[in-house]
Amino acid sequence: MSYKTINPATNEEIKSFDSISKEEVLEKIGLAHEAFGSWRQTSFDERKKVILAYAKQLRERTDEFAKLITLEMGKRIEEARYEITFCAEIAEFYANGAEEFLADEPVEVEDAEAYIQYAPIGVLMGVMPWNFPFYQVTRYATPNIMAGNTVMVRHASCVPQCAKAIEDLFAECGLPSGVYTNLFIPTEFVDTIIEDDRVQGVSLTGSERAGQAVAGTAGRNLKRSVMELGGNDAFIVLEDADLDDVVEKAIKGRMVNTGQSCVAAKRFIVVEPLADEFIKRFKTGVEQLKLGDPMDEDTDLGPLSTEGAAEDLNEKVQRAIDAGVTVVTGGGRPDRDGAFFNPTILTDISPDVATYDTELFGPVASVYRVKDEEEAIQLANDSSYGLGGSVYTKDIERGRRIAEQIDTGMVFINQPTNSQAELPFGGTKNSGYGRELSPLGIREFVNKKLIHTMESFAH
């Protein structure tokens, strides 16, 4: 297997990298394990210095790294710059907060002193996706490095230059060899790594299928795991919502990263009194989006990550159309080079159509009409996924009441699901388990060790 940079805007192959051998993988695990022995002994200040240097370089070289993202997976250059800046914010959040987040936690007990110590556990394996090639790695690597663990990363095969750039950057910032390791490896080597006794946990962001495979291997080997899988986020519009604001957020929420986000709004659930007008305005706004070169500042919608991704999305949409789903706009691929797909709106999706419970990873929105709030909640929860969701209403208390009934890991009121360093990120059901970001994220791969001391031996 080789890792290849193929510009999705043109489908031109730019560069390729060979995979390493199994023997080299085992050697790198050994180096990571050896590095853990010393890295775990470093102070928070020593770790902080490296991670803040990483953040500083991201800020100073934003354009350089953003162009790599755009070249390899087609993200619009403006969005790519934001991704790099967000990575710097995450790195700074953990560099400045890790000591507090992992401080010994007193436990009140009678006639004794007790506390919980948060201690690093060892070498971790990360299986990372292509859709946010710097962000996904940064939110996995920086908290775990700050916690004293060492991390290995198997990145997606279509973003090898991003993968290499991250490893090189950590080294340039003074991170000792073996604390962060990039691996150009075939998929089958992931099991080899997880099964190795020197590896203590695995974090994966990806598809349900990948999650089942990786979590299964982790479970059989009694290894900790965090799974951030797919999503089919509901975007609930109630009758008192500000439609101008809602439509603007609907377009942004669905089309961000050309629709290739686990937490992009995907199912638009609109109460009947607003449905016709919402669809009309949504259609108008979507049709005004300009497809084009993602390096061009004027482009509104770039290509999908690969030609294969565009073909897969097209097949799913065509099957939905054949099953009787209505196409409001779009519904296919434009006549141009590159992995492009026309922005699409689908309606009349019945539960017996596969699209009803399928994550469409691209610029395709599904719109549902419901009679009232109760039916909106029921439909939002009628999904095998449970990542994020959003509710739109002028009545904030009503919004909170509805949010509390939505079975997902995150619900946002009057804005699409998003990410911030301070906010926990993760889902329920087939969207996975565990949390990233926030203080919770740094506590996933640590030993929560109880230390208990009797005050007196007197009876």
For residue 208, the domain's CATH number is 3.40.605.10
Domain that holds residue 49: 2-229+431-451
For residue 290, the domain's CATH number is 3.40.309.10
228 in catalytic set:
yes
In this structure, the answer to whether residues 203 and 278 fall within a common structural domain is: no
Catalytic residue among 228, 373, 436, 444: 228
* Cα-to-chain-centroid distance, residue 2: 24
For the chain, the domain total comes to 2
425 occurs within a structural domain: no
From the list 85, 172, 187, the residue with the least C-alpha distance to 419 is 85
456 occurs within a structural domain: no
405 occurs within a structural domain: yes
Beta bridge partners of 4: 16
In this structure, the answer to whether residues 241 and 155 fall within a common structural domain is: no
In this structure, the answer to whether residues 12 and 150 fall within a common structural domain is: yes
168 occurs within a structural domain: yes
In this structure, the answer to whether residues 267 and 186 fall within a common structural domain is: no
158 in catalytic set:
no
Crossing angle of the two packed helices 77-101 and 135-147, in degrees rounded to 10? 20
Crossing angle of the two packed helices 77-101 and 62-73, in degrees rounded to 10? 120
In this structure, the answer to whether residues 209 and 291 fall within a common structural domain is: no
Strand positions, DSSP E, 282-334: 326-329
18 occurs within a structural domain: yes
In this structure, the answer to whether residues 13 and 150 fall within a common structural domain is: yes
Distance, in Å, from the CA atom of 137 to the CA atom of 100, rounded to the nearest integer, reads 23
201 occurs within a structural domain: yes
In this structure, the answer to whether residues 389 and 443 fall within a common structural domain is: no
**Tens of pLDDT along the chain (459 residues)?**
789 999 999 999 999 999 999 999 999 999 999 999 999 999 999 999 999 999 999 999 999 999 999 999 999 999 999 999 999 999 999 999 999 999 999 999 998 999 999 999 999 999 999 999 999 999 999 999 999 999 999 999 999 999 999 999 999 999 999 999 999 999 999 999 999 999 999 999 999 999 999 999 999 999 999 999 999 999 999 999 999 999 999 999 999 999 999 999 999 999 999 999 999 999 999 999 999 999 999 999 999 999 999 999 999 999 999 999 999 999 999 999 999 999 999 999 999 999 999 999 999 999 999 999 999 999 999 999 999 999 999 999 999 999 999 999 999 999 999 999 999 999 999 999 999 999 999 999 999 999 999 876 544
Distance, in Å, from the CA atom of 198 to the CA atom of 150, rounded to the nearest integer, reads 11
Convert 45-88 into a string of H (helix), E (strand) and C (coil). Answer: HHHHHHHHHHHHHHHHCHHHHHHHHHHHHCCCHHHHHHHHHHHH
In this structure, the answer to whether residues 338 and 436 fall within a common structural domain is: no
The model's pTM? 0.97
Do the beta carbons of residue 69 and residue 40 sit within 8 Å?
A: no
Catalytic residue among 262, 373, 436, 444: 262
